[in-house]
Amino acid sequence: MTERITQPLIYALLTAQLAGCTVGPDYVRPEAKIPNEFKESKGWKQAQPRDTMLSGKWWEIFNDPRLNKLEEQVAVANQSIIQAEAQYRQAQHLVQSAQSAFFPILNLTGTTNRFRAASGQSVAVSGVRNLFGVAGAIAWEPDLWGSVSRQVEANTGSAQASAATLQALRLSSEATLADNYFQLKTLDAQKALLDETVVAYSKTLQIIKNRYAVGMVGKSDVMQAETQLESVRAQAINIGVQRAKLEHAIAVLIGKTPADLSLAAAPLDVQPPPIPASLPSELLERRPDIAAAERKIAAANAQIGVAKAAYYPSLNLAATNGFQTSTLDNLFKSASRYWALGPAGAALTLFDGGAKHAQYKQAIDGFDASVAAYRQTVLTGFQEVEDNLAALRILDEQKQVQDKAVTAANHALTLITNQYQAGTVSYLDVMTAQTVALSNRQTAVQLQGQRLTASVQLVKALGGGWNVAMLPSEDQAGGEVKWTDYLIFPVD
């Protein structure tokens, strides 16, 4: 009897599933305005070969071993990245949760009752009785209109977007660390310059004091020299505040407390490397934030199908097969077996006050918003590339001019110092020349740091060696499913 009931039921369920259709629009990637070339790439010295310069460890192009060591710790110890990884796993399990709706729900129940039946002439059995029962039940709602399929599609898109967001955060954290690191080295170079200047000014002050002692110069020259010296010393001390903050920021980026990291001063001996500026059309495949925005569109598109499927009737199927008897000895005998089909039926909402229509329109609005967000992300990506291409080109030109200014200022300082020693100019002229020479040397150091920072930001704007092929596939977005995942109790 069970086989005569079960086989037709399974056949009916499978037939209903296969006969279903998926409502809602199929996803088509929206178009985004893409220029033929970057405006600021004209005159740009392209790295050769183009496609082999940037890899996952893009920071290695700077050839700085200490930077390499710090960057390696970001992916494994940065707490924001660890949080994003957990959120990605959450998104994977949401895919698995949606996929579970494809399968029926199986329940096993056991019951035992002891009761006293009513006595009377119309009652066949009276007195205290026992009733034992065991039953298995199956319930299923076939995906006739593709609601489950669309939900799986939506959750898969969201999981892929989460994976891309994780990569975007990782790239951002790596770039921030490199940026802070080069700013720190720039401050070290400025500190070294100021310390060197303090030594030079101290020698000059001693010479002036000696000249004052023999009556060759006035007291005002001594006071002016001391003022100049102490002013530079104050600048050197002030750099310590900025440097400490950068060192603390680097420590947090690699998952350490500031007390656990100390970076010794090092010379600014790093040069901006050649960077391959990809074509604008390639940028869409290389930036994880653009990939995340595009996957969110796919998820929003699928949600339209979910909302549309709610308009259609739902079909619920159920079956029960079990045993029931008043004595345990007879529980599993054929005479104690029973079966039931139901509850089963179709339901169609006739009036809901416009709730389903509002949800459907909301899904469409969400899709439109995600398309706009995607296109804005693409535009921002182009802007960031253009900004840093321009910055590197202009800063390179400025460096060449600044180097000439440094040379001229140093030469002028030497001449005016000699004139002062000859007594033809006042010490005020020497102070002016010293200030100009120091200012130009400081500007040269700052330009070097700005060029390195612009290089880091250009690498970030180009995607840092990532590409869309690294995005998890639809199967991977659902995570690895183990047999223990099908159990009804948690197993770690």
User: Per residue in 17-76, pLDDT tens?
Assistant: 544 578 889 999 999 888 888 887 775 555 554 444 577 899 999 999 999 999 999 999
- Strand pairing category for 105-117 and 345-347: unpaired
**Residues near 160 by Cβ (< 8 Å), separated by ≥ 6?**
291, 295, 298, 471, 472, 474, 477
Residue whose tokens read 């994780």: 166
Confirm if 373 and 35 have CB atoms less than 8 A apart: no
The residue-averaged pLDDT of 478-483 equals 73
Q: In the prediction, which pLDDT does 432 show? A: 93
- Where residue 490 falls among pLDDT bands split at 50, 70, 90? low
- Where residue 323 falls among pLDDT bands split at 50, 70, 90? confident
Q: In the prediction, which pLDDT does 45 show? A: 55
Confirm if 78 and 173 have CB atoms less than 8 A apart: yes
Q: Which range, of 95-104, 151-160, 471-480, averages the lowest pLDDT?
A: 471-480
The residue-averaged pLDDT of 385-401 equals 94
Query: How many CB atoms are closer than 10 A to CB 491?
Result: 8
pLDDT reading at 486 higher than 70: no
Q: In the prediction, which pLDDT does 365 show? A: 95
pLDDT reading at 143 higher than 60: yes
Alpha carbon distance 364, 319 (integer Å): 38
pLDDT reading at 126 higher than 90: no
User: Per residue in 343-371, pLDDT tens?
Assistant: 667 777 788 788 888 999 999 999 999 99
User: Per residue in 294-319, pLDDT tens?
Assistant: 999 999 999 999 999 888 888 888 88
Residue 72 has φ and ψ, to the nearest 5°, of -65, -25
Domain ranges in the chain? Answer: 22-105+149-289+372-477
Q: Which range, of 99-103, 243-247, 258-262, 445-449, averages the lowest pLDDT?
A: 99-103
Mean residue pLDDT of the chain comes to: 87
Q: In the prediction, which pLDDT does 487 show? A: 67
The residue-averaged pLDDT of 100-111 equals 87
The residue-averaged pLDDT of 186-215 equals 93
Q: In the prediction, which pLDDT does 52 show? A: 47
For domain 22-105+149-289+372-477, give its CATH number from 1.20.1600.10, 3.40.50.2000, 1.10.260.40, 1.10.1040.10. 1.20.1600.10
Q: In the prediction, which pLDDT does 305 show? A: 92
- Where residue 120 falls among pLDDT bands split at 50, 70, 90? low
**Residues near 31 by Cβ (< 8 Å), separated by ≥ 6?**
none
User: Per residue in 171-189, pLDDT tens?
Assistant: 999 999 999 999 999 999 9
**Residues near 118 by Cβ (< 8 Å), separated by ≥ 6?**
126
**Residues near 419 by Cβ (< 8 Å), separated by ≥ 6?**
425, 429
Q: In the prediction, which pLDDT does 124 show? A: 55
Q: In the prediction, which pLDDT does 5 show? A: 46
- Where residue 419 falls among pLDDT bands split at 50, 70, 90? very high
Q: In the prediction, which pLDDT does 91 show? A: 92
